[in-house]
Amino acid sequence: MNIQNYIMGQWKTGVDSEYEAVHAITGKPIGSVSSLGLDYDDVLEYGRRKGGNKLREMTFPQRGLMLKALALYLQSKKEEYYAVSSATGATRIDSWIDIEGGIGNLFTYASLRREFADQPFYIDGQPVKLSQNGTFSGQHIMLPKRGIAVHINSFNFPIWGMLEKIAVNLLAGVPAVVKPSEYTSFLTEAVVRDIIESRILPEGALQMVAGKGHGILDAVQRGDAVTFTGSAATGKSLKSSPHYLERGVPFNLEADSLNAMVMGEDVKPGSPEWSIFIKEVTKEITIKAGQKCTAVRRVLIPKEHIEEAAEALKTRLSSIKYGDPQIQGVRMGSLATKLQVTRVQEAVAKLALENEVIHGNILGESEVLAENPQAGAYFSPLLFVNEQPFKRLSCHTVEAFGPVSTLIPYRSMEEAADIVALGKGSLVTTIVSSDKENYKKFTLEAAYSNGRVLILDSTSAKESTGHGSPMPLLTHGGPGRAGDGEEMGGMRGITHYMQRTALQGHPDALTEITGRYVPGAARHEANPHLFRQHFEDLVVGDTVTTEKHMVTMDDINNFAELSGDRFYAHMDEKSLEGTIFTGRVAHGYFILSRAAGLFVDPPKGPVLLNYGIENCRFTKPVYPGTEIGVQLTVQEKINQEKRDDQDIAKGIVKYYVEVTDDTKEVVAVATILTMVKKREQE
């Protein structure tokens, strides 16, 4: 059997063999892996041209729905992936993180479609007035890059590693080539086969290189983007290539790092936080057999509790059965390959030169629950202790990528932060503490050397996703050794694949280009009233100009009585000395409310409800005797898909509300959101 590459619209077997994949538990052959003979210039150009063109034609909502459909499809096939995943040595829980965590990323990024206008590009921020009379304005927009994303992934998460990356670039409108590790590419291949067979993605939007992929990065051109997940040494070597500097190619590195977990000074044996700490450290050592880029490698404990904590961890680790995940009761599986066992043993040998072993042995040998222990890639949990963390530095520089951690005593929260920083940059550190002063002090001291800090206590533990789980809407990455990169992060991740461009011109031009009304652009009087028009019929820039209303002292008094807002500026003329006001001033919220009374067309029609207010500003005081009028303008339209057959067909309409006084000066502005029925619903 061959593990194949999917390139240029076909499944292709590489020339010869680069690696023979084997079952991590049984040692039996799985298949031959090779990418030899592939022409990467053609592969990448195929993706740019074939997949990129199709993706860029789609709007953000369309791309989001595409991701949602893909997530639902893969979810229906997930049990097949669990079966294949077991060959990587993973337990059911390990596989859950990889499989359902990856699919969850697709769902999360699919939901972000609601944050974008119904356009193939992103309107970034608010328009900027660049001239006194408002005839020259600016607006940033972001468009998909005309390149391809090349994702080089590690062996530990064959599914999550791929899906968490492509969810972002596909929503941005950029195609991808994924190159999983050859060691576990058989699992990635199983998922990619289903993705291709589903025909949910445009052809060329996703390609896969199963083998070692030597030469793929040489084919990268300006406009492309590279992401690399793996060892810090390999990643930094690739990132420093002049090739990327010359062509301006962004290279995002997410590297394995020496992450830490810190027990706060306030945590005492028997407390809820003590139990949380022991449980979380044990989990991070044993899940995926320690093969996670976020796994805890350094465990910091107050000096006076180091012995008790060590005994608690040893007891907990001793109770965990490890071996073949198919055997009932086994809670920790094997490493991914025998080669990985050798690498962990080499790293452990270096750590053992200056750190004391307090649990397990440096060969990783222990009782294994398996039919043939010698066939599997097993390594048992191992704990070191380092009593002199500022002198014995190997635990801050050497990573054993397996179930291996080092306990370190500390004397103060400041010292704990200094010890964490000796790792020269980590993806994540957790502080377990219920003392606000402790966790605040530590967090603000340690954040600079970490990409993420988890504050964990008994109030959050039940719902917390834990130390090892980066979240799709938050950035994943870290400084220094961790790679100096960022991925995911919701909108932040999407913009990584887009080019920001500043537009300058008359508001009419900016409105035409962006499809969003820019203040100062021409406004056409709506006929009929905007509230009488269905979603499809509304035109950006169409406006309702209202009648006038004279603000009176009775308005101010009545609004104060109704709202309960008796702020002195509205009610006490004697208290105005030293303020900007020359008399009692109307409430800003009265002005906004009265504006609604002027522009709302009351009878039942296509407008279903008021959805919210954005960017509300009161720009000039309004005194009794002032006449105000309103212009209500269609600013932007956002399509909404129906949730089911019974749902009402509708969209969100943003209206720009501008309130002016009798001198034609603006006294208030706001954007209101309404839900408007579509004509097809009638």
C-beta neighbour count of 111 within 10 angstroms: 15
- Considering 164, 265, 293, 658, which one is annotated as catalytic? 293
Contacts of 52 by beta carbon, 8 Å cutoff, 6+ apart: 144, 146, 147, 148, 173, 174, 175, 204
Q: How far apart, in Å, do the first and last CA atoms of the chain sit?
A: 57
**CA-closest candidate to residue 352, choices 361, 339, 342:** 361
Angle of helix 92-111 versus helix 60-76 axis, rounded to 10? 160
CA separation for the pair 331, 316 (Å, rounded): 12
CB 445 within 8 A of CB 437: no
Is 395 considered catalytic here? no
Q: Which residues on neighbouring strands pair with residue 630, listed in sequence order?
A: 659
Q: Which residues on neighbouring strands pair with residue 20, listed in sequence order?
A: 32
**CA-closest candidate to residue 185, choices 32, 42, 12:** 32
Secondary structure, 3-state, 47-70: HHHHHHHHHHHCCHHHHHHHHHHH
Q: Which residues on neighbouring strands pair with residue 323, listed in sequence order?
A: 369
CA separation for the pair 259, 420 (Å, rounded): 8
Q: Which residues on neighbouring strands pair with residue 322, listed in sequence order?
A: 332
CB 529 within 8 A of CB 542: no
CB 2 within 8 A of CB 193: no
**CA-closest candidate to residue 203, choices 5, 58, 10:** 10
Specify the 3-state DSSP secondary structure of 285: helix
Contacts of 628 by beta carbon, 8 Å cutoff, 6+ apart: 548, 549, 551, 591, 594, 595, 622, 659, 660, 661, 662, 667
Burial 408-433 (b: 16+ CB within 10 A, else e): bbbeebebbbbbbbbbebbbbbbbbb
DSSP 14: P
- Interior angle at CA 155, CA 150 and CA 157, nearest 5: 85
- Considering 182, 254, 284, 399, which one is annotated as catalytic? 254
Q: What is the maximal distance between C-alpha atoms in the chain? A: 92
Is 254 considered catalytic here? yes
Long-range contacts of 81-85 (CB under 8 A, 24+ apart): 81/159, 81/187, 81/190, 81/191, 84/186, 84/187, 84/190, 85/158, 85/159, 85/187
Chain centroid, CA 78 distance in Å: 22
The token pair at 224 is 């492309």
Q: Pairing relation of β-strands 627-639 and 549-550?
A: antiparallel
Whether omega before 528 lies within 30 degrees of 0, making that bond cis, reads yes
Residues assigned a catalytic role: 254, 293
